[in-house]
Chain A
Amino acid sequence: MEEKDQILDQVTGSEYKYGFYTDIDTETIPKGLNEDVIRLISAKKEEPEFMLEFRLKSYRHWLTMKMPGWAHLRIPEINYQDIIFYAAPRQVVGPKSLSEVDPELLRTFSRLGIPLEEQKMLSGVAVDAVMDSVSVKTTFRETLAELGIIFCSMSEAVREYPELVKKYLGSVVPYTDNYFASLNSAVFSDGSFCYIPKGVRCPMELSTYFRINAANTGQFERTLLIADDDSYVSYLEGCTAPMRDENQLHAAVVEIVALENAQVKYSTVQNWYPGDKNGKGGIYNFVTKRGICKGDNSKISWTQVETGSAITWKYPSCILRGNNTTGEFYSVAVTNNYQQADTGTKMMHIGKNSKSTIISKGISAGHGQNSFRSLVKVMKNADRVRNFTQCDSMLMGDKCGAHTFPYIEVENQSAILEHEATTSRIGEDQIFYCNQRGIDTETAVGLIINGYAREVLNKLPMEFAVEAQKLLQISLEGSVG
């Protein structure tokens, strides 16, 4: 046992590898939140009137709400008057090429391993890089534009495609939805907007890298993705953040609309600063992600690998409104040190013959607390619904926790729902078996963890899967159960 404890201490000793702070001249507005701040944000972003109205009514609604307390999380009180709600890297307006972009910013991206350069063209990935609140550089717009695909920052979409934004923004996650969604609707800074026209199969993985940078700045990303009839898109989202002491609030909203026969695959690798090994600092990640399979035969698939943040509160969900629609949720969530995660999904079956699959792999180490929460709801008129849910938990050490809260509400007798759950440990015998084949303990843990999470990792696009595998190994470096 002592041996185990020692090795476990090494886990807790492994610190965040991407912690650094970039010194960029940042334009911020004063701390705090009131209607004037919202007007200022809207004005700075040169938004049309409808956007300001949306923000204001969201804000007024938010004021009537209370922070939800149902999650299995210990959340310190957040002082919203102590947060800066808008920060933009100050730079020349509208960089025409990379040479016009702040070199410090480019260095940050390259340290993060984000190839914003022309190599992206070769690897076929278009990047909309969001650093703090304003999109810095968007590649591949022309290639995508030829197909009629719109992939731009949210601010730009608000200005240039107001009719699409007006039609769909808040249509999946209403401004009244929940505390953090309302807050986001009031103050969202930027994010990505994507529209795939009818019949178009997006030829490349669309990817966004978010990065939180300026000190004390809450980050409120807003993403809207619309896949029109018969279209297909695969979207990647990946995050790293610099190390710092103050807790940072992050409350993003992602909305997906899939119309008839459309397919959307949304993949996330989330590695924000989780706090140090004593639980100091770290990002609070309160995200609302939801997609609607609006048209018949449409499909939305969420895949997430969550290794970062001090607190994660996140339930990528699907509203299966059309008939024969499919919702999928594949998740790996790691909590180490003092990290807490309450994550899972909701599958709302409204359409007939709708199907959903939920596969969740939780890994808890150190003092980490990992909760899986799901709701499968079958409405009265949803005939012949199928659901398969599997939630597995892995524990490393004896100070961490794994919790599962699967809810099922069925109002239609023809539904078939399956639920499987397991809890396991990395066995000392597994480690020894690997050791005996010449594999050291660290590599063995990586191997076993990646094997455990394989069903989910397999769902990630190739380039992401490799990154995710490394990330899992790094997050649990030196750990044995």
Chain B
Amino acid sequence: MLQIKDLHVSIDGKEILKGIDLEVKTGEVHAIMGPNGSGKSTLAAALAGRELFEITNGSVIYNGENLLEMSPEDRARKGLFLGFQYPVEIPGVSIVNFMKTAMNELRKYRGLEPISASDFLKHMRDKKELVGITANMANRSVNEGFSGGEKKKNEIFQMAMLEPTLAILDETDSGLDIDALKIVANGVNKLRRSDNATIIITHYQRLLEYIIPDFVHVLYKGKIVRSSGKELALELEEKGYDWLKDENE
């Protein structure tokens, strides 16, 4: 589904990612871990197409197409979803309106008619239940005045609504208490299917107690320095990130 080859990314002329190689197949869950400043969020943003990040080298093939040539909205329409580390507030725009607009853009792109009001409401009810969102939240403005946990739950809710092929969750677990963490993990697990894939970006191991990844990668100073099975996460938890410094410097 996703092949990243020798990806180099700079921001303001400073190279952050220094040659990333990663392959993600359908049905897989990958976890990308690493200390702060290692380039995890840069990778997520670059894949989503944020213009701030300049791709200086390498290639990304997504379902057989060159991802890097697509606009951010086309990437989204082709099923790439980014769960934001810091979800953005859009005052005055209700989640209902926002989601309906997003869904209809996706449908238009796929040559479908706009969703009917009743189908939309049913879809939303189902997904809300899945993620455990209260009715109240859906009528509020997008992320406005949300607590940290609510914002993250809202990201998972949007993911459920849009049913992406590839979901990239950028530090979705940061700032969550254990209950919110469980809700987020539960949502991700329920959305996991054989025809989609998930990349979980996290600093801590604890989310991986609830979401079992197929692969764990360690990103350090812009490079993937270790890749292994889920046991790597435990090792990291035990040893911290300090050993990386010893090994890589």
> Contact residues of A with B, CB < 8 Å?
3, 427-430, 432-441, 443, 447-448, 450-455
Contact = CB atoms under 8 A, between A and B. Distances in A.
Given A429-B88, A437-B162, 7 more contacts: A432-B50, A433-B88, A433-B90, A434-B102, A435-B49, A437-B102, A439-B73
A427 B141 CA distance: 16
5 contacts: A435-B71, A436-B81, A438-B73, A438-B102, A447-B97
Pairs A-B, 4 closest by C-beta atoms:
A451-B92, A451-B93, A454-B92, A435-B72
B68 to A, nearest CB: 15
A423 B48 CA distance: 29
B102 A452 contact: no
Q: Which of A3, A427, A430, A441 has the most CB of B within 10 A?
A: A430
B97 to A, nearest CB: 7
A432 B75 CA distance: 12
Interface in B24-67: 48-52
Contacts of A455: 92
A284 B199 CA distance: 57
A437 B76 contact: yes
Given A443-B101, A447-B101, A451-B141, A436 B92 contact: no
A123 to B, nearest CB: 21
Contacts of B92: 450-455
Given A447-B101, A451-B92, A436 B82 contact: yes
Contact of B77 (A428, A438, A441, A443): A438
Q: Which one of B75, B90, B98 has the greatest number of beta carbons of chain A within 10 Å?
A: B90
Interface residues of B, number: 31
B169 to A, nearest CB: 13
A436 B48 contact: yes
Interface string B84-125: 100111111100011001100110010000000000000000
A450 B93 contact: yes
B82 A3 contact: no
A454 B141 CA distance: 11
B98 A437 contact: yes
A438 B49 contact: no
A436 B72 contact: yes
B165 interface: no
B202 interface: no
Nearest to A449: B92
Contact of A447 (B49, B50, B89, B98): B98
